[in-house]
Amino acid sequence: MINKLVGSDAEAVSDIFNGAIVMIGGFGEAGSPIELIHRLIDLGSKNLTVVSNNTGSGNVGIAALIANRQVSKMICSFPRSTNSVVFPELYRAGEIELELVPQGTLAERIRAGGAGIPAFYTPSSVNTPLADGKETREFNGQTYVLEYGIKADFSLVKCETADRYGNLTYHKTARNFSPIMCTAGSTTIVQAKNIVEPGGIDPESVITPGIFVNRVVEINDPLHESILVASGERYPQ
């Protein structure tokens, strides 16, 4: 399908199945596709592996998805933050698996997954516990560790502006992991603040080319995680 527009956020996520690998864009709340996450909570798919830099805060967004016991494993670089309570409790209780990955390795594993590269060597984490048990190799006298590309069944991202071809632009530091996650998802689902006609985005300014995107839904006025957390909101209520 060349036309990527779908009618609702619920329809956009409706085929996320039990056991799926789901990449979720965002660095903290910047770029977190909170409406798509909440529709995934409504859908109730279980046993998900979620790839995202953080584990959410308060009881909304990713944290709420984890609290709803839909996530069996997190692949992330920084699973705690000021207001993160849900993940630490479940992790200490041994009820959620964590694969901790250096942030640059996480980014490159996603990039590689989307680019058809199965594995690569990186200097990051050499001589640390995060390289334990991993294959290493020397190049020009320096040691590197083998890391594998990651692909997802679904990627959920938020963008600023989209057209019906799925071309995307982002807002400031809300871009973060989203462009590479768009490339690594078999089905990439985008919530856009604005949808414009084709040509409404300058071709020189497109950040994510539409070929990487499968579904776009317009969410004009997205919720903000920090505002919800500050007012003690929970999802579902």
Partner 1 sequence: MNTIERLGWSRNEMAQKAAMDIPDGSYVNLGIGMPELIADHVPAGIEVIYHTENGLLGMGPVPEKGQEDIELINAGKKYVTAIEGACFFHHADSFTMIRGGHLDISILGALQVCEKGDLANWSTGKPGAIPAVGGAMDLVAGVKNVWVITDHNTKDGKFKLVNNCSFPLTGKGVVDRVYTNLAIIEITEAGLKVREMAPGITFEYLQEKTEPKLLQ
The residues of the shown chain that bind partner 1, judged by CB under 8 A, are 27-31, 77-82, 87-88, 91-92, 98, 100-108, 110-111, 122-130, 170-180, 207, 224, 226
The closest of 148, 126, 128 to 138, measured between CA atoms, is 126
Least distance in angstroms from the C-beta of 47 to partner 1:
22
Least distance in angstroms from the C-beta of 24 to partner 1:
13
Which residue's CB is nearer to partner 1, number 45 or number 208?
208
User: Where are the alpha helices (H) located in 81-152, listed in sequence order?
Assistant: 86-92, 103-115
Residue 186 and residue 126: Cα distance in Å, rounded?
A: 31
Sheet holding 142-148, edge to edge: 119-122, 142-148, 136-139
DSSP state of 127: T
Which residue's CB is nearer to partner 1, number 106 or number 156?
106
Least distance in angstroms from the C-beta of 92 to partner 1:
5
Residue 119 and residue 124: Cα distance in Å, rounded?
A: 14
Least distance in angstroms from the C-beta of 191 to partner 1:
14
Which residue's CB is nearer to partner 1, number 48 or number 159?
159
Least distance in angstroms from the C-beta of 82 to partner 1:
8
Which residue's CB is nearer to partner 1, number 16 or number 156?
156
- Chain centroid to CA 8: 20
Which residue's CB is nearer to partner 1, number 28 or number 166?
28
The closest of 161, 158, 100 to 130, measured between CA atoms, is 100
